[in-house]
Amino acid sequence: MSTLDVTRAELALIVLYLNKAEARDKICRAIQYGSKFLSNGQPGTAQNVDKSTSLARKVFRLFKFVNDLHGLISPVPQGTPLPLVLLGKSKNALLSTFLFLDQVVWLHRSGIYKNKERAELLGRISLFCWMGSSICTTLVELGELGRLSVSMKKLEKNLKNSDKYKNEEYRGKLQKSNERTLALVKAGMDIVVAVGLLQLAPKKVTPRVTGAFGFVTSLISCYQLLPSPPKSKTT
């Protein structure tokens, strides 16, 4: 491939990535929490960027609660243990509730919904729902990683006389394990972000800590949304 072809292919991937509303939302989230880290809750330019970006992100999440409603009523893969099924459905229900209530907050900040006290109450309830969904995600990922570990050990026993890294099934399970480990780290850090936003431990989880954790989880989300590069043809 020529340099121009490579550049064109890379630009096509960038366009594909930026065409996703979810990707743009996560980029804005990184800006929001990066600004929160810089401002540390103090008035100034960084705090203004934090607040304006937070409001702008809510537009990207309009009607997004439908996605988790669909996940709530969708069938689960066969063989999934009941506790993991219940945790997964709880996560869908809590996340859908968070996204729905978050739209009321957006209506209030836009000046459409006038009841300030109720909007603030619903905003706080929505954050508790998000924290609950992050806790459920953490437990689900821990459970799934345990199941993957057991299946990988069984596969390793069957591949004693061969290179396990050349086995396609083993490589697939290893990739899933890496993806779930990253998702586990992100969910655990999101719990800290939720604690900071709710000010449940203001002395320990300061706005700077909240901003730092939120910025890292935003970068993880951006990475998770990256499109797979096209496979090169081999001769």
* Residue given tokens 């910025």 in the structure block: 215
What angle in degrees, to the nearest 10, is found between the helix axes of 82-109 and 116-158?
150
pLDDT at 113: 87
Rounded distance between C-alpha atoms, residue 235 and residue 226, angstroms: 27
List the one residue out of 173, 183, 121 whose CA is nearest residue 147: 173
Contact 129, 80 (CB under 8 A): no
Rounded distance between C-alpha atoms, residue 18 and residue 24, angstroms: 6
Contact 61, 107 (CB under 8 A): no
* DSSP states along 30-99: HHHHHHHHHHTT-SSHHHHHHHHHHHHHHHHTTTTHHHHHHHHHSPPPTT--HHHHHHHHHHHHHHHHHH
- How many residues can be counted in the chain? 235
Rounded distance between C-alpha atoms, residue 147 and residue 80, angstroms: 10
Rounded distance between C-alpha atoms, residue 113 and residue 105, angstroms: 8
Rounded distance between C-alpha atoms, residue 202 and residue 110, angstroms: 28
Q: Which two tokens stand for residue 178?
A: 């890496």
List the one residue out of 70, 141, 138, 140 whose CA is nearest residue 99: 70
Contact 6, 229 (CB under 8 A): no
Would you call 14 exposed, middle or buried from its count of C-beta atoms within 10 A (0-12, 13-18, 19+)?
A: exposed
pTM over 0.85: yes
Q: Would you write out the chain's pLDDT as a tens digit for each of its 235 residues?
A: 678 878 888 888 888 888 888 889 999 999 999 999 999 989 999 999 999 999 888 888 888 889 898 988 999 888 889 999 999 999 999 999 999 999 999 899 888 888 989 999 999 999 999 999 999 999 999 999 999 999 999 988 888 878 888 888 888 999 999 999 999 999 999 999 999 999 999 999 999 999 999 999 999 999 999 877 555 444 3
**Taking the C-alpha atoms of 18, 21, 24 and 30 in order, what is their torsion angle to the nearest 10 degrees?**
-140
**In the chain, where the domains are located:** 1-60+201-234
